[in-house]
Structure 1
């Protein structure tokens, strides 16, 4: 009886481990598929570059979509928003955003590019708002915030430092009625701003990494199953006449 209970307990633990590892593998596989779909959608948009009006940035139904957009407007005299914990080429830095008010449509945040941070983390000097009245680029969801809160920290130079980009929270901090849910990733060919590109998955794992993790979790599930089978087979060989 004791051996049977031990065997049953061992299999219960093994099955629980297999279920957990398989669930984690499925989650990673789902993330891989989601991110690959994002990359594919952005690639199609960048290939076509069929410019839409900036007003489409305010459409809540398209908040997770990608569009190439262009239009006229102005940069109001508002503090820039610096998104912290942004890496480029392995170096830490911040991404600079400014509010842009199009001639038609809600105000939106424009990604002006990346600036490095020194070891002492003194905020880099930010140039005044661009004088350009024409912008173009990739309309995209804000960078993923993960579990970070969208708190804004005013800096001594008047800028706002954020660890997560929440347009609603930023609009409230700047005294604006609203900001479009999507941001404009400014075309790198425009001669304004800072170092930038149109990578839609910056500072996050690429799809192939998620696929690799999925394979590892599935491999662990298989290893637990094989181990449980081997231990059960050995037990039966050692105790061929055992009874409950």
Structure 2
């Protein structure tokens, strides 16, 4: 093999490896797009207000990744859990969770009571979950926010029954809050249509929604990234073809 042919072979080997790598990343982005589209469709289908499910379903490990519209009641524990680093509309804040001990279940259930903005000094809101029995709630049972990268303790006590969590490590939260039966694998996202009706004053003035993809990429963004990766793969092949054509032309 001549030196020129050897160089061409090396160029094409590198080009094919790069193109294959970019195409793999593009396929991964497409898979994530389809996965999130399926999640959004399942969540939308689950919001059937005419056929609510019992809160007991939150404890079913077989449905940990599913969505159900649920209604029930129970006792709110005398503590408040704030989940840190939660963005909403480009603003930084925290999400408030209350611990509900359902009347029809044995496991505690985390109730997403809304998002709150944080000031520059990062002082937590003074508002907290109202303790008491007979609290009626309704909303969407869904997976808790992703834990992300584990770094340091997941939970820190702030005093007066208030806790600040850096991630949703349910087993660690259950141990810290002394919940012997653990916490249900799904949380209850309270119905935004009833901002001041459920659980007394628990919801005001936090902002509620049923967004199941907070702080993450939308399917449209994944599609955009997939197009970029496939475009890079095509560009590499085009460059390789141009170099090959120029090399052969010089040889002639």
TM-score norm. by structure 1 comes to 0.92
Q: CA–CA distance in 2 between the matches of 1:88 and 1:56?
A: 28
Unpaired runs of 5+ in structure 2? 197-201
State yes or no: 1:206 paired with 2:206.
no
d(CA) in 2 for partners of 1:238 and 1:51? 74
Moved more, 41-50 or 93-102: 41-50
Matches for 1:12-91 after TM superposition, within 5 Å: 12-77=13-78, 79-91=79-91
Following TM superposition, where does structure 1 have runs of at least 4 consecutive aligned residues deviating by more than 6 angstroms? Answer: none
Higher strand share: 2
CA contact (8 A) 1:73 1:100 kept: yes
**Structure 1 residues 198 and 130: CA distance shift in structure 2, 3 A:** farther
CA RMSD, aligned part only? 1.6
> Is the counterpart of residue 168 in structure 1 residue 171 in structure 2?
yes
Q: Which runs of 5+ in 1 are unaligned?
A: none
Give secondary structure in 2 for the equivalent of 1:126: coil
Q: Residue 155 of structure 1: SS of its match in structure 2? A: strand
The answer for the alignment partner of 1:7 in structure 2 is 8
C-alpha change, 1:61 and 1:28, in structure 2 (3 Å) is same
Q: 1:154-197 deviations in whole A, cap 9, x for unaligned? A: 22554221221122221111111210000000112141412111
Contact 1:142–1:166, Cα closer than 8 Å, also in 2: no
Q: How does 1:89-238 map to 2 (within 5 A)?
A: 89-105=89-105, 106-129=107-130, 131=132, 133-149=135-151, 151-156=154-159, 158-177=161-180, 178-188=182-192, 189-191=194-196, 192-193=202-203, 194-238=206-250
**Matched residue count:** 239
The one-character-per-residue Cα deviations of 1:122-154 (angstroms, maximum 9, x if unpaired) are 222123425451111100001122324471122
Question: Do 2:48 and 2:69's aligned partners in 1 also have CA atoms closer than 8 Å?
Answer: no
Report the secondary structure of 1:138's partner residue.
strand
DSSP 3-state at the match of 2:144: coil
TM-score, normalised to structure 2's length? 0.90
